[in-house]
Amino acid sequence: MAKSLLIISRQSPWSGPGAREALDIVLAGGAFDLPIGLLFLDDGVLQLAAGQNARAVQQKDLSANLQALPMFGVEELFYCAESANARGLGKLSLDEAQPLAAEHITALIDRYDQVITL
Amino acid sequence: MNSITVGARAIELDKDGFLVDLSDWSAEVASALAAAEDIELTPEHWEVLELLRSFYAEFQLSPATRPLIKYTALRLGADKGNSLHLNRLFKGTPAKLAAKLAGLPKPTNCL
Amino acid sequence: MSTLHVLSHSPYGDDRLSSCLRLLGSADAVLLSGDAVYALQPDTVPFSTLQERAIRLFVLIEDAQARAIEIPDWAKAIDYPAFVELSIHHAKVNSWL
């Protein structure tokens, strides 16, 4: 049985390579058929803001890439409800992501064999 | 520099034979790239190439093998969205070869 | 199941420590290394927060010494061999990179 892996992505989409690196790990894990989960925490929830425009800053479209996660076999998608509220996020761009309260995030981390926080 | 001649134009390719400028892609370019791989494109090939182009338009990335199979099954049904069918069409490396012919970037995480 | 959370960023102007404390399970422990040891600067918000929470708190002693941080008696100072020991006594390690 392959070890399960939880990636906690907590960098904003435009601040540096952190958000992209977290996604790359998840996509690679999905391609290897690993049981893999992705949690957006802190500024990481900003990756889920609807209506972002990557072209305005000539970058790759991270939001579009995130939509591909279910295709890559990554179905366990979560975000911290508190982080999203604190940042005034309303509609999110990733329908599959489920909001979690802090105590459920503690339980989520417990459930996985390994955790990587980026 | 690697290139392929289509009509009167030389189309630039990278060292793995992928288009350097994705906007160079056309049906003629796809046929020429396929011919260089000893493949004659049939309607079955074309529907997969079109599917890949729509995958790229939607997600802005090239699928690895598993997502390609999943997406194909979703759009064209399970009789086409399976590794047997895709491997037969694209010489055993559907993610890599079909992405090349469809004018997509080389898939990362391609296994 | 227990997790060892490893922090290495300064807590000032950064929310790793507060997020970590928010998500900490009852069997979990926190290790402060690198600039994260600045959380133990007395008379600061991180210091009093950690003191009040009374969690299982470990501090990498050489990083504290290098930064002139005194380790309070409610935290446990450890060296690298003890860090390794601590890691294997937890089900997993979550490094807040």
Domain range enclosing A96:
5-117
Interface A–C counts its CB contacts (< 8 A) at 38
CATH of the domain at A25: 3.40.1260.10
Q: Which CATH class is domain C3-96?
A: alpha beta
**Number of domains making up chain A:** 1
Reported as a pLDDT band with limits 50, 70 and 90, residue B111 is very low
CB contact under 8 A, B61 and A28: no
**CA angle (C12 as vertex; A37, A22 as ends), nearest 5:** 20
> Rounded to two decimals, what is the model's pTM?
0.89
CA proximity to C29, closest of C20, C38, C18: C20
pLDDT at A96: 92
CA proximity to A108, closest of A46, A43, A28, A37: A37
CATH 1.10.10.370 matches B43-101: yes
Q: Which residue on chain C is closest to A111 by alpha carbon?
A: C1
pLDDT at B30 exceeding the cut of 80: yes
- Residue A27 touches chain B, beta carbons under 8 Å: yes
pLDDT at B20 exceeding the cut of 60: yes
The yes-or-no answer on residue B97 being catalytic is no
Q: What's the pLDDT tens digit per position in A23-66?
A: 999 998 888 889 999 999 999 999 999 988 888 888 888 999 99
As a whole number, mean pLDDT of residues C72-89 equals: 96
CA proximity to C94, closest of C16, C4, C28: C4
Domain ranges of chain C: 3-96
pLDDT at A68: 92
Min CA distance, C33 vs chain A (Å)? 16
CATH 3.30.1420 spans which residues of chain B?
A: 2-36
Architecture of B2-36 per CATH? Answer: 2-Layer Sandwich (3.30)
Average pLDDT taken over every residue of chain B: 91
HSE value, Cβ hemisphere, 13 Å, CA-based, for A12: 10
Lowest mean pLDDT among A57-61, B77-81, C29-33, C91-95: A57-61
- Residue C24 touches chain A, beta carbons under 8 Å: yes
**Chain A neighbors of C96, CB-CB under 8 A:** 117
pLDDT at B107: 86
Min CA distance, A103 vs chain B (Å)? 33
As a whole number, mean pLDDT of residues B15-41 equals: 92
CATH 1.10.10.370 spans which residues of chain B?
A: 43-101
The ipTM assigned to this model is 0.86
pLDDT at B7: 84
Q: Give strand ranges (E) for chain C.
A: 3-7, 29-32, 56-60, 76-78, 92-96
Q: What's the pLDDT tens digit per position in A108-117?
A: 999 999 999 9
